Homo-oligomer: A and B are copies of this chain.
Amino acid sequence: MENISMRLKQQLNFLYEIDKLKKILRRSTLIADPDRLENTAEHSWHLGLYVMVLAEYTNAQIDILRVIKMVLIHDIVEIDAGDTFCYDAEKNMDKGVREQNAANRLFGLLPDDQRDEFMNLWHEFEKRETPEARFAASVDRMQPMLHNYVTGGGSWKRHGVKRHQVDERRLPIADGSEILADLIKTILDDAVEKNILQAG
């Protein structure tokens, strides 16, 4: 294997390592199988499609390539840091440190220029300051809400989540897309009415 460049070897090692994202389980089940939890690799793929299909609803002009890159890599840190359930207050306290360490190790497998590109994309996503990051956050927040809704409650029911908790998670959606935020409000109202999300 001595005729394979160090750069290409680093790139392949990164691509092999991130295979582990397929083993990180989220709290939501599949729409297609309520007995099987979604993993983070599948979730990231689905968000790529959400961006492709719903980009027209963004508040500001966006560079779609950067948004798609962001959603494809935004959760890679979970390989080391695990999936932190958004309604688990305690685990969310040290989430930042755990995820930064994970980013250092995982993106650090890449050649320096690509390590920097991926790290920047991930920080951009986390900070939600650019129109691209805001739209990426919108689809990331709305996907599990929609999936809980169409599966009759999903992780809301299993974990006793209440409307005001979902509303807190919902707020950033409007920063990326007013139209999608309206959609989610309509759907949450209906979810409460149908008793698949607890009021209060």
A112 / chain B contacts, CB cutoff of 8 Å: none
Given A4-B183, A68-B68: A32 in contact with B42 (beta carbons within 8 A): no
Number of chain A residues close to chain B: CB under 8 A:
49
- Residues A1 and B64 in contact, CB atoms below 8 Å apart: no
- Residues A31 and B16 in contact, CB atoms below 8 Å apart: yes
In the assembly, how many copies of this chain are there? 2
B-contact 0/1 string along A1-24, CB 8 Å cutoff? 101100010011011101111110
- Residues B50 and A15 in contact, CB atoms below 8 Å apart: yes
- Residues B46 and A48 in contact, CB atoms below 8 Å apart: no
Given A42-B39, A72-B52: A19 in contact with B31 (beta carbons within 8 A): yes
Choose from B15, B42, B57, B190 the contact partner of A41 (Cβ within 8 Å).
B42
Residue from the set A53, A68, A147 with the largest chain B CB neighbour count within 10 Å: A53
